[in-house]
Amino acid sequence: MRMESANTMTRDREESERNVTLPLVYFLGGYHPVNESFIRTPPSNVRLHSRVPVEAFNNFERVGEYASAWTQSKNLADKTFAILRMPRLVPVIGSFDLVHTNGSIIPLTLAPWIASVENPSAFYGFREGWHERRSTRRRLARYLLSRRCRAILPYTEASKRYLMLSLDEWKSDIEQKTQILHPAIDEYLITATEKSIDERFREDHTVKFLFVGNHFFDKGGREALRAFRHLRDKEKCELTIVSSAPSHQEKEFNELLPRLVKEPGVRFYRTGLPRARLMELYKGSDVFVFPSYMDQVPFVLLEAMAAGLPIIGSNAFGIPEMATEGENGFNIKSDILAFPEKGLRTEKHLEEYRRAVMDERNFDGVVEQLVDVMARIVRRPDLMIDMGKKSLSAVERGDFSVQTRNERLAGIYERSLDDRK
C-alpha cells in the first residue's frame, strides 16, 4: 500500500512538473458559447489561460455580470475604429508563449499570435463599409501578414471566402497562413446516444419540431411557424419556439406575440432560458428547424447536433457546411440573405435586407420548401433516425468534435510556437 501511494505521488509530481514546462497560451475571447470548448478542453500540448471563467457558460442568463470588463474593452476597440478606422485592438497584459484570439481581435502583444475568424468584418465591429476603403483593408492585412501572426483560422469555407474577398490584393500571402478550424461543442453537452436516437421514434409518435433563435424574423421563426400551421392538421406534430427580437424589430414581434402564445400545438419561450432548461428542450425534441437568413456559423446547430437532431437549415453563409444536404439535414433556399452568397455585404445591402426580411410575402417560397421537407421528415422516421445519428457523429468524432478540433489545433499551436523570437 505504501509503495502504491509513493508511486502515485511520483506520477502526480511528474505530471505537475510536465505541465509547468508546457507552453502557456492565452486565449483571448468573449462570452459567446463557441469559446467554451477552447477554454474548458484545450489541446494537451499547452497550458491555457483565459480571463473568462468557465462557470459563465452555464449562466448565460447572467452573462452581463461576468462580461462587463470584456464589454468595456470591446466598446473601446469599436470607438477606436470610429475615430481612427483601426481594427479591434486589445492589449494583452502578461507573459505568454502564444496568444489565440477568437472574435476577430488583433492582440497588442510581443508574443506570437493566431486568430480564429468567423467573418473578417468583425475585426471592424461588423461595420459593413470597412472593406470599401483600401486604406482600411491594408491596415488589417498588415496585422494579419505580420510575422507575429502565425496562423489565421476561418471557421468554415464561407468564412475563408469572405476573408479572401475582403483582402483580395493580399490573397496569396493571406492564404499561406490560413487553415480552416471548425468550432466544436464540449463533450459534456452531448446528450444523445445512438441508442437514444433509435428509441426516440415509436409507432404513432408525435414529431416535435424545435426552433431556437433570438432574432425571430431574421432566423426564419416566422416561416417555421407558417409552415407548421400548414402541417399540424395533416400530421401529428408540435412546435416549440424559443425566441425574441432585437430592438429594431421589437414592435412587430410584440404585435405577433399574443397570437403566438395561444397558437395550437405551439409552445413558446422567450430567449434567455437557463442553459440546463434549454438543453432539456433540445433533448426532448426530434427535429431542429432553423431556416435562418442572417446567421454565419450558428452555435445552436452544434447544440441541436449534440442532441442527435436532424437539421432543417438554410443556404446562409456556413450553415450548409454544418447541416449537410441529404446527410444530417436539409437546407432551405432563400434569395434574401443578410450576407450575400456572392460578393461582400455593404451598408446598402444590409438596409435592403432589413426592409425585405420584414415582408413575409418575400418568403412564400421558403414556407413551401419548409412544408415539403417537414412533411417528408414526419413521414419517414427512418430518415430522422439516420440523420440524427449523422448529426451526433459530427460532434462526437467528426469535423465539429473537440477531438478533431484539438488534433488540428495541437499541430497549429506546435508550429506557431516553433519559432518564438
Q: What are the pLDDT digits (tens) for 294-331?
A: 999 999 999 999 999 999 999 999 999 999 999 999 99
Q: Annotate 154-167 with b (16+ C-beta within 10 A) or e (fewer).
A: bbbebbbbbbbebb
Q: Rounded mean pLDDT of 372-376?
A: 96
DSSP, res 23 = P
What pLDDT is attached to residue 4? 54
**What does the angle CA 73 – CA 78 – CA 84 come to, to the nearest 5 degrees?**
120
Cα separation of 319 and 298, whole Å?
7
β 47-49/311-314 pair status: unpaired
**What does the angle CA 344 – CA 345 – CA 348 come to, to the nearest 5 degrees?**
130
Q: Which three cell numbers stand for residue 356?
A: 425585405
Kindly report the length of the chain. 421
Residue 18 DSSP SS3: helix
**What does the angle CA 204 – CA 209 – CA 215 come to, to the nearest 5 degrees?**
170
What pLDDT is attached to residue 20? 64
**Closest of 190, 120, 50 to residue 344, by C-alpha:** 120
Cα separation of 244 and 417, whole Å?
44
The helix or strand, by DSSP H or E, that contains position 407, with its residue range, turns out to be helix 402-417
For 307-361, give the DSSP string. Answer: TT--EEEESSTTHHHHS-BTTTEEEE--S--SS-SSS---HHHHHHHHHHHT-GG
What pLDDT is attached to residue 103? 84
Domain 187-396 has CATH 3.40.50.2300: no
Condensed to tens digits (0 to 9), the pLDDT of residues 167-204 reads 999 999 999 999 999 999 999 999 999 999 998 877 67
User: Residue 52's pLDDT band (boundaries 50, 70, 90)?
Assistant: confident
Radius of gyration of the chain (CA): 23
> Is residue 50 classed exposed, middle or buried when 0-12, 13-18 and 19+ CB atoms within 10 A define those classes?
middle
Q: Rounded mean pLDDT of 339-367?
A: 94
- What's the chain's average pLDDT? 90
**What does the angle CA 63 – CA 69 – CA 71 come to, to the nearest 5 degrees?**
70
**Closest of 213, 373, 219, 217 to residue 293, by C-alpha:** 219
User: Residue 65's pLDDT band (boundaries 50, 70, 90)?
Assistant: low
Cα separation of 197 and 190, whole Å?
13
Residue 281: how many CB atoms within 10 A of its CB?
18
Residue 399 DSSP SS3: coil
User: Residue 232's pLDDT band (boundaries 50, 70, 90)?
Assistant: very high
Residue 43: how many CB atoms within 10 A of its CB?
19
What pLDDT is attached to residue 210? 98
